[in-house]
Structure 1
Amino acid sequence: MKFTSQFAFLRTIELDNWLTAAAVTVAAFLLMHALIRWSRRRIARLAEAGKADRPYAEILGATLGRTSMVAVTLTALLIGLTVLDLPAPWDLRVRHLWFITLGAQLALYIDHALSVAAKRYFRTHAKDPDAPATVAHTLVSWAMKTVLWTVFMLAVLANLGINISAFVASLGIGGVAVALAVQNILGDLFASLSIAVDKPFEVGDAIVVNGVSGAVEKVGLKTTRIRADSGEQVVIANADLLKNTVRNYKRMANRRVAFSLLFDPATPVAVARELPARLRAIVERQDAVRFDRAHLKNVTQDALEFEVVYFVLVPSYGTFMDTQQQVLLGALELMEELGVGNVRPVQRVAVDMAQGLRVVGDDEDEEDSGAPAPRVGGARA
């Protein structure tokens, strides 16, 4: 009975008013539908004309594709209802429907715009645009959409006259409790997001961290998996990973090589003067190498020490070893050509012959010999 009494006002609306409302509804629907189609075509042409120069056109074109026909129909009906003379309670309900309908459609637009913008951003900054979505892409999209729909639901409840202060406070207290309970997991989660955004390394990079050397296999939400050089898989928590210094060898621009060569101290001065230039020529004969310097670094009674420094312009470790091998072989050939061979280790033994030298057998000792044993190099023989 009460339900019937609420709609009793419908009998008081004249037929002309109903027809006018229906005409306005149809006209509004057709106008909005045509306007949306025209806007989509226009923006699509702008996006195709220059996707790199017009990213906003691409985002707007994809966003308009999420226009809900239900929302368009409801909006047209609400426009038609504004023509009718409605009593105060129904006028308030129509205003609530306006807010929910337009708010839901706007939330759908923003939701899709966030998805397209995040996808475009990570696709632009990725090395392989066709690669699957990264962890950062998923986390960023999920976080933004969660905030968007939470705000929309709270706005709807507030528009309906519901006090959301206690609800927001409960969400805050609950969020703090959850954060304290899972702080380690959240720490790894945000560390994963930091790795994905800052990109100190990527999958496939050769890194060294906390004494572990290997190639990155996967960066997950909580852990990073590294295939060690020795073959086993090492799993490191993302938060612990960021606390240590990471050395990324894949991003090495070049390799600095410094080594020393020891020559015979009897090498003539004229030959020693030529050695830096000859060593430089050996280095510069190699491919992808930039020579830095070659100097006589030190002179001692045992050797002449020459230091050579150069850069390998290719970060590959195999190329570095091949180049170093050729340089060392060239240095050996130079030594052989000039007759100034490398220094051999020298061992000097001093023998004190003041008391004579006597061989003591296994069954004799020093006391039975009647004479002290001779000293060899400062020690008793």
Structure 2
Amino acid sequence: MTFSILAAAQTAATKTAARVAPARNDPIADLRDWWDSSVAWVNSHWLQIGIAIAAGLAIYFLLSMIRGFALKRAQATPGEFTLTHIVGRVIHQTKSFVLAIVAVRMVAGYAQPPAVIMQILQLIFTVAVVLQVAIWAREVILGLIQRRASDGHNETLSNAMGIIRLLISVALFAIAAIVILDNMGVNVTGLVAGLGIGGIAIGLAAQGIFSDLFASLSIIFDRPFRVGETIKYDTSTATVERIGLKSTRLRSLNGELLVISNTNLLGKEITNFANLHRRRITFTIGVIYQTTPTMLRDLPALLEEQVVAAGQEFIRSSFLTFGPSSLDFELLFDVFSDEFDVVAAARTDVGIRVFEAMAKAGYEFAYPTQTTFTAAPDGTMIMPFAESPKPKVSAAKIAKPS
């Protein structure tokens, strides 16, 4: 009786342990089962598999033809960074493996593969498409950057494209890796947080470098000035010689080379003298207070006549103010030229013409003068200069006739 009870208890414990203990994995057995199921699938669906392979090959060659046609159209465009060129370059970056996996995925459902094979195809398809989208996005961004900044040969853009390409590639492929891991069921919350903290740390450590780099890109894209143009920066007037990744080199009017960081350069007010189709010249002309009212009224017309005779566009000429030692008139006219030498020659010509005409008409130019009046303690005015000697009279003139 006791033995029977012990035997029954042992049997129950063995069954309970069998239920609790996990089943052992046998890779060889699993591989054998997968092979057997695959062979059975091929034997039962050989016609569907053949049709799917033929359709997949047709789709692959069709996609390859579209890629080749788009590439030829892009290469035939005369512009270097046209939208057609960018689209063609993006399509050219489409990998043949991606075309193949897309064709396989499109026809896989018709062949009704086993669930394991379908899961593998789905995983490969997801990885390939996500990576291909990252490559497409990189080419689109780089193409638009080059299109926006294209103005012939841009040395700064050529130097910066390596860094820009690296930064864009790291950002896009990091996003692609997160998307792939998320589709595989991996918890990417910690990874995203780690990448964010790492990016902040790198940004703080290289803040000055990135600041000048983004300022350089701002100059390239916004184009406040270009190489060869004359600008006024703060209190300096200089010609732009080179726009670098960190600094810009300017050649001042006195010949000095000014090296200014891009961040500081954009932080100041910049006056660009390039592309000026007209330049306004202003003269302030002062005549003496002894000028008659009639001559003052005639002076604006005289000034206008000289500007028109010089071939420039007259704007206005009018009385300006009562100066300390002169009656001031203002003359404004425009010179239509982009060349500073032409503007300087026109200004000189008009100035000389005005001087000649005013001198011929009897006008006198004023210069700073000051008259001082003094008085004695009793209020008698004292002239600020010695009295002129009285003229001598000869004895013959003052002698009385006899």
Name the TM tier (shorter chain).
Answer: 0.7 to 0.9
Q: Mapping of 1:239-318 within 5 angstroms?
A: 239-287=263-311, 289-298=312-321, 303-318=326-341
Q: Is the partner of 1:7 in helix, strand or coil?
A: helix
Partner of residue 173, structure 1: 197
Distance 1:353 1:116 in 2: 88
The number of residues matched between the two structures is 351
**Is contact 2:131-2:173 (8 Å) kept?**
no
Partner of residue 71, structure 1: 98
**Is contact 1:135-1:196 (8 Å) kept?**
no
Q: Mapping of 1:144-293 within 5 angstroms?
A: 144-287=168-311, 289-293=312-316
Query: How big is the shift at 1:313?
Result: 2.8
- Among residues 138, 146, 167, which one is paired with 1:111 in the alignment? 138
Query: How big is the shift at 1:327?
Result: 1.6
Q: Is the partner of 2:365 in helix, strand or coil?
A: coil
Query: How big is the shift at 1:99?
Result: 0.8
Partner of residue 62, structure 2: 34
Partner of residue 399, structure 2: none
Q: Is the partner of 1:293 in helix, strand or coil?
A: strand
User: Mean alpha-carbon deviation: is it higher for 338-347 or for 180-189?
Assistant: 338-347
Partner of residue 361, structure 1: none
Q: Please, what TM-score do these two structures have when normalized by structure 2?
A: 0.72
**Is contact 2:234-2:268 (8 Å) kept?**
yes
Distance 2:277 2:244 in 1: 28
Distance 1:214 1:109 in 2: 42
Distance 1:48 1:223 in 2: 38
Could you say if the C-alpha distance between residues 184 and 273 of structure 1 is closer, same or farther in structure 2, counting changes exceeding 3 Å? same
Could you say if the C-alpha distance between residues 78 and 152 of structure 1 is closer, same or farther in structure 2, counting changes exceeding 3 Å? same
Question: Which amino acid in 2 is paired with 1:198?
Answer: D
**Is contact 1:295-1:308 (8 Å) kept?**
yes
Query: How big is the shift at 1:261?
Result: 2.2
Distance 2:369 2:133 in 1: 87
**Is contact 1:263-1:341 (8 Å) kept?**
yes
Could you list the runs of 5+ residues in structure 1 that have no partner in the other structure? 355-374
**Is contact 1:293-1:309 (8 Å) kept?**
yes
Query: How big is the shift at 1:108?
Result: 3.0
Could you say if the C-alpha distance between residues 2 and 115 of structure 1 is closer, same or farther in structure 2, counting changes exceeding 3 Å? farther
Q: How large is the RMSD of aligned CA atoms in angstroms?
A: 3.8
Could you say if the C-alpha distance between residues 149 and 196 of structure 1 is closer, same or farther in structure 2, counting changes exceeding 3 Å? same
Distance 1:280 1:319 in 2: 20
Query: How big is the shift at 1:169?
Result: 0.7
Q: Is the partner of 2:198 in helix, strand or coil?
A: helix
Q: Is the partner of 2:258 in helix, strand or coil?
A: strand
Partner of residue 13, structure 2: none
Query: How big is the shift at 1:28?
Result: 0.6
Distance 2:249 2:323 in 1: 51
Distance 1:256 1:337 in 2: 27
Partner of residue 25, structure 1: 53
Q: Mapping of 1:355-374 within 5 angstroms?
A: none
Query: How big is the shift at 1:22?
Result: 5.0
Q: Look at both structures and tell me which one has the larger radius of gyration over its CA atoms.
A: 2
Partner of residue 95, structure 1: 122
User: Mean alpha-carbon deviation: is it higher for 35-44 or for 331-340?
Assistant: 35-44
**Is contact 1:21-1:80 (8 Å) kept?**
no
Could you say if the C-alpha distance between residues 274 and 152 of structure 1 is closer, same or farther in structure 2, counting changes exceeding 3 Å? same
**Is contact 2:77-2:84 (8 Å) kept?**
no
Q: Is the partner of 1:258 in helix, strand or coil?
A: strand
Could you list the runs of 5+ residues in structure 2 that have no partner in the other structure? 1-24, 386-402
Could you say if the C-alpha distance between residues 111 and 175 of structure 1 is closer, same or farther in structure 2, counting changes exceeding 3 Å? closer
Q: Is the partner of 1:107 in helix, strand or coil?
A: helix
**Is contact 2:156-2:245 (8 Å) kept?**
no
- Among residues 352, 363, 366, which one is paired with 1:340 in the alignment? 363
Task: Report the identity percentage.
Answer: 24
Query: How big is the shift at 1:81?
Result: 5.7
User: Mean alpha-carbon deviation: is it higher for 296-305 or for 321-330?
Assistant: 296-305
Could you say if the C-alpha distance between residues 175 and 346 of structure 1 is closer, same or farther in structure 2, counting changes exceeding 3 Å? closer
Distance 2:200 2:276 in 1: 43
Could you say if the C-alpha distance between residues 133 and 32 of structure 1 is closer, same or farther in structure 2, counting changes exceeding 3 Å? farther
